[in-house]
Structure 1
């Protein structure tokens, strides 16, 4: 099973730039071109939050138009820049979401790997949180199919990356989430967005990866007093490839046109 994983497109109304500087809409269109050129084609597409930048109806109209070009089933989780009502309406024809409250989901009908989405957003805040109710929901969802290969998708990552100015807005309660996940050996990967960079680490007895944004990258500044900044680095997506007997392999796929193919050497 092939699962393409994009994140943080921060789409804007037509003609407006992300942060007034970057054409995030055009960059997402290029990401979809890359997605549609993959051979073999993915079975499923994930977007790990921040579909849009300000949560407006015009932005979600842009998102719906862009998503129409995605041929595969599409699953998404909201990010801190998403507006709940707009997100629900945008994704209504793609997936079943609760009509109120956190937009958790468990989707098992798209192939061998089950996708569990965990909505850790906090209304009005940029950080995420794992509270008692979230842990209860997740424990029940994982217990439903404890032997099935599973990917857990969330927006804010539940760890400190070392980039202090973005770590202020991570998902709080990471220790309790890690303890819960350690009880389930079938969780092949935890996948996140939010941080606009590719990062991987061991977490809760499994592997956690963050997907880069299809637009800007948060600056890799590891000094504790570093000034917040972003760069227009080459964007990328992740491709998760699951095979029986081997498990899940995650590939980093740059988005764009590059020289090649060249002779193998």
Structure 2
């Protein structure tokens, strides 16, 4: 099973870099992933024209199973309305073969900070009640990321959400937001942050990239998974970041 995780396209005249976007698109389509997860900030300002442009780009990703959640930039200027029109639900629960993907909207209109809320904990727990490989996707990062300076944009209720996901035995958490790629292994749960996919809004010496997660069930009797996380850069260069059995 191959999962492509990308984030923070920031489609706009100011920040979207078309040549990098095209290179990354070709890399994804060559990989032929089973699932593509996009964790928000599709647009810069949440404007209708930006949504129309990014929708056309995302439609060119040759994968029928895509899971998208909005980011804080997508919810600016009531942009979440356009997200719902073009991509349907801001919250989703999908079973794709032996994989359960739960996507949540952690954004609030015109506020940079993320918040999930106790009202969502119940259905998330229910969604993860089975024995599938479990993926949780949101925009805001749950754990502080190196090189991000004074940490003030972790999800407001990150502690409660991490506890919930740990109790649900979630395998993989996919985040974006701060444009710095990183991986944490917490209680045998991989928390994978993505850098910016194709915008000029890079930090420090980081560059545009997306994540490739390869998961293989080693033994169907005890549901052990061998997981590899790689980072893919423009022009297709790939770097293995971590591999583990969970």
Fold match, TM over 0.5? yes
Could you say which residue in structure 2 is the equivalent of 1:228?
Answer: none
Given that 2:171 and 2:188 are in contact with CA atoms closer than 8 Å, whether structure 1 keeps it comes out as no
For 1:64-121, what per-residue CA distance to the aligned partner results, in whole angstroms no more than 9, with x for missing partners?
21122111022111000112111112224xxxx2xxxxx221111x332211112111
Aligned length: 225
Bigger proportion of residues as strand: 2
Distance 1:85 1:166, change over 3 A: farther
Given that 2:37 and 2:67 are in contact with CA atoms closer than 8 Å, whether structure 1 keeps it comes out as yes
Alpha-carbon shift at residue 29 of structure 1 (Å): 2.5
Given that 1:150 and 1:188 are in contact with CA atoms closer than 8 Å, whether structure 2 keeps it comes out as yes
Could you say which residue in structure 1 is the equivalent of 2:208?
Answer: 235
Give the whole-Å Cα distance in 1 for the aligned partners of 2:46 and 2:172. 28
Residue 29, structure 1, aligned to residue 22, structure 2: yes
Alpha-carbon shift at residue 52 of structure 1 (Å): 0.7
Task: Give ranges in structure 2 of 5+ residues lacking alignment.
Answer: 219-224, 238-246
TM-score (norm 2): 0.84
Distance 1:150 1:53, change over 3 A: same
Superposition map of 1:1-265 within 5 A: 1-12=1-12, 16-18=13-15, 23-38=16-31, 41-73=32-64, 74-82=66-74, 83-92=79-88, 97=89, 103-108=90-95, 110-143=96-129, 145=130, 147-163=131-147, 165=149, 167-185=151-169, 187-203=170-186, 205-214=188-197, 215-216=199-200, 218-220=202-204, 233-245=206-218, 246-256=225-235
Corresponding residue SS for 1:115: strand
Alpha-carbon shift at residue 191 of structure 1 (Å): 0.7
- Which of the pair has more CA radius of gyration? 1
For 1:151-179, what per-residue CA distance to the aligned partner results, in whole angstroms no more than 9, with x for missing partners?
10110001222445572222111111121
TM-score (norm 1): 0.78
Task: Give ranges in structure 1 of 5+ residues lacking alignment.
Answer: 98-102, 221-230, 259-265
Give the whole-Å Cα distance in 1 for the aligned partners of 2:116 and 2:11. 27
